[in-house]
Amino acid sequence: MSLRLGDVAPDFSAETTAGPVNFHEWMGDQWTILFSHPADFTPVCTTELGYTAKLKEEFAKRNAKAIAVSVDSLDSHNGWVKDIEETQNVSMNFPIIADPEKKVATLYGMMHPNESEKFTVRSVFIIAPDKKIKLTITYPASTGRNFDEILRVLDSLQLTANYNVATPVNWNEGEDVVIAPSISDEDAKVKFPKGFKTIKPYLRTTPQPNK
Ligand code: BEZ
């Protein structure tokens, strides 16, 4: 059965470009972005990993970090890292898991045999510090992901974990949010002292509460 939101992210041990990793230990108390790329020395993956390295500070602001995986060997990863650094003008600053036996890829359902027998699809898992899966995304090999979207989702996940709100369509940090329907108007007046707008009884907006 595939992994679902709320499931505990499976633990594993693996070799990575930053040394051996036990996944849960490596996560510590941070948010983790675990993402697969189909293969080393491929153009889209090269741009994705380079961009992710550039986001290190943005991840750090959110107590988050990234770890990539593909079914290539450690030697292959180490060779490719040089190309990523050269072509994307970055210093690689997060681990890439070597998974030539497809152990991690299989554990996380990253192999989609009707799409490719050999390579993973582009999966993303956002995992909270309690080790529970909070987001999954699956893209085909031919489409590079939008890693700014991953930051946006992290902002939403971290906000909604602490306040009785949800984030509306295309929301970005700093914009108004919606009040959870389970909160009565009376409670909303207390919980959201900046006030709220009632567009429909089920659609109430309020300024982002932690701003
Ligand atoms: C790429 O990263 O460019 C790629 C990888 C596998 C298939 C197609 C494209």
Ligand 1 centroid vs 65 CA: distance in angstroms? 24
Q: Residues lining ligand 1, CB < 6 A?
A: 38-39, 42-45, 141-142
Ligand 1 centroid vs 48 CA: distance in angstroms? 11
The residue whose CA is least distant from atom 7 of ligand 1 is 141
Ligand 1 centroid vs 190 CA: distance in angstroms? 51
Q: Which of 81, 80, 84 is nearest to 47 (CA)?
A: 84
Task: Output the tens digit of pLDDT for each of the chain's 211 residues.
Answer: 799 999 999 999 999 999 999 999 999 999 999 999 999 999 999 999 999 999 999 999 999 999 999 999 999 999 999 999 999 999 999 999 999 999 999 999 999 999 999 999 999 999 999 999 999 999 999 999 999 999 999 999 999 999 999 999 999 999 999 999 999 999 999 999 999 999 999 999 999 999 9
Sequence-distant (≥ 6) Cβ neighbours of residue 142 within 8 angstroms: 44
Distance (Å, rounded) from C-alpha 114 to C-alpha 92?
32
Looking at residue 178, what is its pLDDT?
98
Distance (Å, rounded) from C-alpha 158 to C-alpha 205?
18
- Nearest atom in ligand 1 to the alpha carbon of residue 43 is 3
Name the residue of 44, 117, 120 to mutate for ligand 1: max ligand atoms within 8 A of Cβ: 44
Element (H, E) at 194: none
> Which one from 9, 21, 27, 45 is the annotated catalytic residue?
45
**163-206: which CATH architecture?**
2-Layer Sandwich (3.30)
pTM summary value:
0.96
Sequence-distant (≥ 6) Cβ neighbours of residue 43 within 8 angstroms: none
Ligand 1 centroid vs 210 CA: distance in angstroms? 40
Domain ranges of the chain: 13-145, 163-206
| Active site (annotated) includes residue 45 | yes
Looking at domain 13-145, its CATH class is alpha beta
- Nearest atom in ligand 1 to the alpha carbon of residue 45 is 2
Task: Identify whether the C-beta of residue 202 lies closer than 8 Å to the C-beta of residue 168.
Answer: no
